Amino acid sequence: MRHLMNPLDFTVEELEGLFDLANDIENHPEKYAHACAGKKLATCFYEPSTRTRLSFEAAMLNLGGSVLGFSDANSSSASKGESVADTIRVVSCYADICAMRHPKEGAPMVAASKSRIPVINAGDGGHQHPTQTLTDLLTIRSLKHRLNNLTIGLCGDLKFGRTVHSLINALSRYEGIRFIFISPDELRIPDYVTEMLNEKGIPYEEVMSLEDVLPRLDILYMTRVQKERFFNEEDYIRLKDFYILDRKKMKLASPDMLILHPLPRVNEISVEVDDDPRAVYFKQAQYGVYVRMALILTLLGIHVD
């Protein structure tokens, strides 16, 4: 039995297979419409979500399976003090696979260690968000036709952003990747990430100005300043609108740069940018369904000819 806690749990070759499967699902959805008939997905979400939970549920329904779960810790027995370990033991009696989001780093890993069914980390605190990374990689591969030789700018909350940490981890295995980290000093990328890049000899720069680096980017990965991760409201208010990507700034970017965003968006991308063909964040959400379908099939060991 296999779980997914971190994007590095899959080899680069396994990811290629997963993305090929996701693209086949995109092109031939009818082939997969009954692949999970009789199977159940549990979504155990201790933290709010729109995309991750609903795309997992859409993925399982598209595969002909069923879904059950909770979307709020307060509507589960966690509110009475039940541990994640006990919850997953029980969920293992009801479902065939589980996607779990939790505000505490490592909670899905604890669940996986006690589970009789595959557990997917659907985001744990500021740590990892591997299925968002699978979504991001599939989006880049499908639209840029490569995952190597790319200059990727990551902008916004690089300190607490689990999507950022997961994506850097995953991309650091491809040739010719260069990162540009764009953030205010308070939201800098953590040292453990830059130490990993130094060890691997992967080039990166840390800058504060988005405008200065926009012309050099193949991919701009925008992120939200996350109110829920701040201890101090004053700091959040001071930093929340530090970056706002608008039409004027987009004039500086190359014609084939792609803008990705894990969403939700607050103010960091002006809505006037949404019509720009380089803005692919809503397409990205659609790729999230295909890759989660591919992941469910893979972890359940279901093959469709």
Which is the catalytic residue, given 3, 39, 40, 51?
A: 51
Task: Identify the residue among 44, 263, 296, 300 touching ligand CP (CB under 6 A).
Answer: 263
Task: Identify the residue among 262, 281, 290, 295 touching ligand CP (CB under 6 A).
Answer: 262
> Interface with ligand CP includes 43 (CB under 6 A)?
no
> Interface with ligand CP includes 51 (CB under 6 A)?
yes
Cα separation, 140 vs 145, in Å, equals 7
Stretch that binds ligand CP, among 4-12, 24-32, 111-119, 261-269 (CB under 6 A): 261-269
> Interface with ligand CP includes 227 (CB under 6 A)?
no
Which is the catalytic residue, given 80, 145, 251, 303?
A: 80
Alpha helix segments (H runs only) across the chain: 12-27, 51-62, 84-94, 107-114, 130-144, 162-171, 191-200, 210-213, 233-239, 247-250, 281-300
Which residue matches tokens 């953590």?
190
Question: Which residues 78-137 are close enough to bind ligand CP by CB under 6 A?
Answer: 123, 132
Catalytic site residue 129? yes
Nearer to ligand CP, 142 or 151 (CB): 142
3-state secondary structure of 30: helix
Nearer to ligand CP, 204 or 287 (CB): 287
Catalytic site residue 52? yes
Stretch that binds ligand CP, among 16-24, 142-150, 262-270, 276-284 (CB under 6 A): 262-270
> Is residue 182 within a helix (H) or strand (E), and if so which, with residue range?
strand 177-182
Of the candidates 200, 146, 143, 141, the residue with the CA atom closest to the CA atom of residue 168:
200
Which residues 6+ apart lie within 8 Å of 189 measured at CB?
A: 154, 158, 159, 164, 168, 181, 183, 206
Catalytic site residue 188? no
CB of 51 to ligand CP, least distance (A): 4
What residues act catalytically? 51-52, 80, 101, 129
